[in-house]
Chain A
């Protein structure tokens, strides 16, 4: 079945450091790819998405590029802030006639940014 593998944390960085969180996927077709973020005590929020190969999703300084040849969707940010501390989930969705059959999530990466 479909699966998502992402680096497990916690990942601890200093403020203004460069961030990469790796994500690779296995899917039988051509999924849409997502990064969700969960801040402490809150539900998940969509951070960015890409729906086809070579698409780049971006939001709040974060970027990720859909790489079909390496089945990857790595999350990057050039300069992290303390407020970026959260849990980040990579996810994929496959679509059938009735819509998406739910998201398949990675296990999440806990990011801690120290001042």
Chain B
């Protein structure tokens, strides 16, 4: 079975902290994605990666960076968390034309 895991289901951080959200897939997929989900806005693409050490900006990259040192792992980094980054973060990997999603991390920034 396809599996995408995210390091935390719930996370609470303070303004200004550096935050790491980790995502791991076990399907040997090359393409991985980070989205944020907000009520009334749906899902919006933050960053994606075609391969190790490659990254591309999505629609809302400001305030975020990513790291892809290994094929199976794609990390989202908030360099200095702000309250407007409180959201649900979803990671996905892609096989064929289908994206497989992790369960999400609900991040609250106080």
Contacts from A to B (Cβ < 8 Å) = 8, 32, 36, 42-46, 49, 51, 89, 91, 93, 95, 98-108
Stretch at the interface among B66-74, B78-86, B92-100: B92-100
The main secondary structure of chain B at its interface with chain A is strand
Contact present for B94 and A107 (CB under 8 Å): no
> What per-residue 1/0 map shows which CB atoms of B39-57 lie under 8 Å from chain A?
0111111001010000010
The 8 listed contacts between A and B (C-beta, < 8 Å) are A8-B40, A43-B4, A46-B100, A89-B42, A102-B33, A102-B35, A105-B44, A108-B42
Residues on the A chain within 8 Å of B30, using CB = 99
**Would B102 and A107 count as touching, CB distance under 8 A?**
no
Task: Establish whether residues B94 and A100, one from each chain, have CB atoms under 8 Å apart when the complex forms.
Answer: yes
Measured between C-beta atoms, what is the minimum distance from A98 to chain B in Å?
Answer: 4
Given A102-B35, A105-B35, A105-B43, 20 more pairs with CB closer than 8 A: A32-B97, A36-B101, A42-B103, A43-B90, A43-B104, A44-B101, A49-B97, A89-B42, A99-B50, A100-B31, A100-B99, A101-B48, A102-B33, A102-B59, A103-B43, A103-B45, A103-B92, A104-B45, A107-B42, A108-B42
